[in-house]
A and B are shown apart, each in its own frame.
Chain A
Amino acid sequence: MPLRYGVYGGRYVPETLVSPLEELEAAWRSARADPAFQAELELQRRDFVGRPTPLYFAERLSAHFGQARVHLKREDLCHTGAHKLNNALGQALLARRMGKQRIIAETGAGQHGVATATVGARFGFECTVYMGTEDMRRQAVNVERMRMLGAEVREVTAGTRTLKDATSEAIRDWVTNVRMTHYIIGSAVGPHPYPEMVRDLQRVIGDEARAQYLEAEGRLPEVVVACVGGGSNAIGIFTAFLDDENVRLLGVEAGGAGLDGGRHAASLVAGRPGVLHGSLSYLLQDADGQVLPTHSISAGLDYPGVGPEHSLLRDLERAEYLAVTDREALEAFQLCTRLEGILPALEPAHALAAAARLEGRVLLCLSGRGDKDLATVLAG
């Protein structure tokens, strides 16, 4: 049986993909247990990605917030500017081990597309990235970066022209070219084994941060906060703390223009379980099971689904999820920039906005840098 998180997850895919997913699962289990693979991953993480990333005490931001002592896990300092490379690197090494010649990806904000194009260049893969028309407009600089790195960026004009449709189109490419192609999915979503594999590759964030926090503060944080679109940076930092029962885990979704008007992307807060992109998870859908259009100022959070492990953590109440609006995220972006000299991406700016209301020792995953968002912020 496919691995599930409670009732969530699974493998709801066309038959064409079932055998390839079984092969991928076997390849991942073998690679994960292979010391030579792990050593290579370790080396590339250190020398190519720039790990470990620092843990940084945000002194002035904490003083401004008043009640919270906030440490930032600086994933924005990863090569290419976001945590996405942790996953793309690991999957590229796996694709090479599986003898694949071509990698494909979907992208919303462009960060995962850039990370995939980067490992495409680094390891010599042919690379295609799917991106919605709307996101290509919002993230024009990242489109140019991907092209410069040798990737072909294919415009997706279907549906809402954002991450959901780019993901559907990448899956259709994979269905068609599955024998030679590895699909590097960008978040902890999709059919099994993707949610597990992406979590395995992103948990380095939490493993490092937990040890660094203990070293710096002599104790564990009271709250760990991360933004949640598909949820890969969140599951990456949460995983290390799942057994620390006294540590609150807080996921922050995109509240867009507010939850009331329906213009948001808060699947866990406002959705109900359904199947999208191969797995059962919380989903923004209408009464008839049609997936709803979403809205967020942050392209990376603008997705109607969420990783299945988050759905389980929500139901178990092990993690809490809330939504932050576009406006609140923009304010947090400005605050962090002015007070810390760090431009956060609009995605973790949502987590920063939530941290402003917290008390006590807070560890926050600053999942990416905000240079890509300048045009959006200036327009906002």
Chain B
Amino acid sequence: MPADAPLFPRAANGRLELVPYLMAGYPDRHRSIENGRRMAGAGVAALEIGIPFSDPLADGPVIQKAGQAALEGGLTVGGAIEIAAAISGRAALVFMSYINPILAYGPDRFAADASSAGVAALIVPDLPVEEAEALKPVFRQAGLDTVFLVAPTSTDERIQRICAASTGFVYCVTLTGITGVRADLPAGLDALLGRVRARTELPVAAGFGISRPEHIAALKGHADAAVVGSALVAADDPLPLVEELLAACG
């Protein structure tokens, strides 16, 4: 069972933690392991590993296309678990998967295999807290933290429920929309992060639309970590951007 311990420390002394995203199997199996190892070893708080799905409703074109390419390259759920195992030991690993591949693999088996591979937490973007009631104990039993998402449209009452259901950290979706690079952080984000902060002792990670050092600077004091996805997936080599963002974090 996971302790109630957070997956990474809360921000202190004006720092922010970085959580980069990797699409398993993209651009191919070998390079996703290499990129994952390098990013995980660069001093990040955690590495989020996406399991591709044919119909990713919460994702913008960059992650959609990467997922499609990974699937065309033959990546399976089992293959994504193997990739996680090959990366593990360098940073906390978090799986991001839509619910259907998990249901098809079998939730019990998925939780056990992910945990054995060294994965510490799970994010399921199309599984809101209500739908997760039956599955949450399955994941927690296997030692996986369950991270739920808060959105700008969430009511205070829902934020309360989401924070109560989450372990490891709470994921705050910064904008009303899908994943992808934006020029600016949305107005009102500080207030949203404040509403989440007031309801949990867990670290709060902000994600969606974050890609630049300026974004990192703007999040300091409001969030504990920043999740960066599309900008890294789109880069031929994600490491330089990870290092640039880490420099802004410190």
Contacts and interface: CB of A to CB of B under 8 A. Distances in A.
Interface in B48-70: 53-58, 60-61, 64, 68
A16 B173 contact: yes
Given A18-B154, A172-B178, A277-B57, 4 more contacts: A16-B177, A175-B178, A176-B177, A274-B104
Interface centre among B64, B100, B150 (most CB of A within 10 A): B100
A287 interface: yes
A289 B178 contact: no
A112 interface: no
Contacts of B76: 288
Interface in A261-286: 274-278, 283, 285
Interface in A157-173: 158-159, 164-165, 168, 171-172
A12 B76 CA distance: 22
Interface in B150-208: 150-155, 158, 162, 173, 176-178
28 contacts: A11-B130, A12-B127, A14-B126, A14-B128, A15-B148, A15-B158, A15-B173, A16-B173, A16-B176, A16-B177, A17-B153, A18-B128, A19-B155, A159-B68, A168-B56, A171-B57, A175-B58, A175-B176, A175-B178, A178-B176, A179-B153, A274-B104, A277-B55, A278-B126, A287-B104, A288-B76, A289-B100, A291-B55
A20 interface: yes
Interface of B: 53-58, 60-61, 64, 68, 71, 76-77, 98-105, 125-128, 130-131, 148-155, 158, 162, 173, 176-178
A19 B102 contact: no
A117 B176 CA distance: 25
A193 to B, nearest CB: 14
Contact of B104 (A12, A178, A285): A285
Interface in A1-41: 1-2, 10-20
A290 interface: yes
B100 A285 contact: yes
Nearest to B99: A275
B103 A16 contact: no
B50 to A, nearest CB: 14
A159 B152 CA distance: 29
B113 to A, nearest CB: 13
A289 B101 contact: yes
A14 B130 contact: no
A2 B131 CA distance: 8
A288 B105 contact: yes
Given A159-B55, A178-B153, A288-B77, A275 B176 contact: no
Given A15-B148, A15-B173, A276-B55, A288 B101 contact: yes
A16 B151 contact: yes
Contacts of A20: 153
A16 B152 contact: yes
B176 A12 contact: no
A285 B58 CA distance: 20
